[in-house]
Chains A and B, each alone.
Chain A
């Protein structure tokens, strides 16, 4: 059974940092590119970042470029999102997604003082 389990969300003050993790199982992790997608409260889906299977290509949404870093550890079947200089408008549920065909359950990030 394919599973993606996110963790690491929580409450953080503006300007702070947080690292999200996504544990993958039930499929060959090394064969898939991965994404982070977020959803602000009551809003639609917003793509955040993409990484290819070998980490050779990485792309970011303009809204997070220079502040967020996507990475993966294929030996651990894990995807990460390092988030720095967090702002209030980064608040939302963060989902990891296998390419565009499977989603995790999400982890909530709240940026507030």
Chain B
């Protein structure tokens, strides 16, 4: 079963850009992952699905959000950071019979 590793926290200034990383375990580098945003006190929100060389955003997700990948690493980049981007960000993937989540990254907008 794959393990998804995320940094516990990240911070960046208002109006700047930040890249969050989700790393798949060796042997699972071709897995497709999804990113989810959870603002404080709210339910998670689906952002995008991402694989090697592609990403597909969910409906209504701002253009400021983009994805990229390199090997086993999946990146979520947020440009022109806004205060509402302060949230927890989770990556997740499906294995044969379970949905696996990373531990989440808490993004602080300074």
Number of B interface residues in the complex (CB < 8 A): 20
Contact B44 A101 (CB under 8 A): no
Chain B residues within 8 Å of A106, by CB: 43
Contact A95 B43 (CB under 8 A): yes
Instruction: Determine which residue in A37, A45, A101, A104 has the highest number of CB atoms from chain B within 10 A of its CB, and name it.
Output: A45
Contact A95 B99 (CB under 8 A): no
A32 part of interface (Cβ distance < 8 Å): no
Contact A45 B97 (CB under 8 A): no
Contact A45 B46 (CB under 8 A): no
Contact for B49 among A47, A57, A101, CB less than 8 A: A101
Contact B46 A47 (CB under 8 A): no
Contact for A50 among B44, B58, B92, B97, CB less than 8 A: B97
Contact B97 A101 (CB under 8 A): no
A105 part of interface (Cβ distance < 8 Å): yes
Given A59-B97, A100-B92, A100-B99: A105 and B43 interface contact (C-beta under 8 Å): yes
Contact B44 A44 (CB under 8 A): no
B24 part of interface (Cβ distance < 8 Å): no
Given A44-B90, A45-B92: A103 and B45 interface contact (C-beta under 8 Å): yes
Number of A interface residues in the complex (CB < 8 A): 18
Chain A residues within 8 Å of B100, by CB: 47
Contact for B44 among A46, A57, A59, A103, CB less than 8 A: A103
Cα distance A102–B34 in the bound complex, in angstroms: 11
Against B, the Cβ 8 Å flags (1 = close, 0 = not) of A69-113 are 000000000000000000000000001000011111110000000
Against A, the Cβ 8 Å flags (1 = close, 0 = not) of B68-110 are 0000000000000000000010101010011111111000000
Chain B residues within 8 Å of A104, by CB: 43
A35 part of interface (Cβ distance < 8 Å): yes
Interface residues of B (CB under 8 A from A): 34, 36, 43-46, 49, 58, 88, 90, 92, 94, 97-104
Interface residues of A (CB under 8 A from B): 35, 37, 44-47, 50, 57, 59, 61, 95, 100-106
